[in-house]
Amino acid sequence: MIKSLPNNKFWKNKRVFLTGHTSFKGTWLKMWLENLGAKVKGYSVNYPSYPISLHKLIYKKKIKSEDILNYNYLKKKILEFKPDIVFHMAAQTILSEAKKNPIDNYKTNIIGTASVLESCALSKSVKLVSIVTTDKCYEENKKLKYYKENSKLGGSEPYSSSKACAEIISKSYIYRFKELNKKIVTLRGGNVIGGGDWKKNRLVPDIIKSIKSNSDLILRKPKSTRPWQHVLDCLNGYLIASEHGFKMKKTFNTWNFSPPLKNQIKVINLVNYMIKSFNYSKKKIRYKKLKLYESQDLHLSSMKANKEIKWKTIMTQKDVIEYIVQWYDSYFQKKNMKIFCLNQINSFYKLARGKNL
* pLDDT value of position 297: 62
Average pLDDT over residues 58-86: 96
Q: Are 48 and 199 in contact (CB under 8 A)?
A: yes
What are the residue boundaries of the structural domains of the chain, listed by start? 8-352
Q: What's the rounded mean pLDDT across residues 224-247?
A: 93
Residue 222 has pLDDT above 70, yes or no: yes
In a 10 Å sphere around its CB, with 0-12 CB exposed, 13-18 middle and 19+ buried, how is residue 354 labelled? exposed
Sign of CA dihedral 84, 55, 335, 277: negative
Q: DSSP readout, 74-136?
A: HHHHHHHH--SEEEE------HHHHHHSHHHHHIIIIIHHHHHHHHHHT-SS--EEEEE--GG
Residue 66 reports pLDDT greater than 50? yes
Percent of the chain with pLDDT over 70: 93
Strands 85-88 and 15-19 turn out to be: parallel
Q: Within 10 A of 334 (CB to CB), how many other CB atoms are there?
A: 7
Angle at 238 between CA 346 and CA 56, to 5 degrees: 65
CB atoms within 10 A of CB 293: 12
Tell me if the domain spanning 8-352 has CATH number 3.40.710.10: no
One DSSP character per residue, 50-89 reads: SS--HHHHHH--------TT-HHHHHHHHHHH--SEEEE-
pTM: 0.93
Q: How many helices (H) and strands (E) does the chain have?
A: 15, 10
SS3 48: coil
Q: What is the pLDDT of residues 168-216, one digit of tens each?
A: 999 999 999 999 999 999 999 978 999 999 988 788 888 888 888 888 8
Beta bridge mates, 43: 19
Is the bond preceding 158 in cis, omega lying within 30 degrees of 0?
Answer: no
DSSP code, position 140 = P
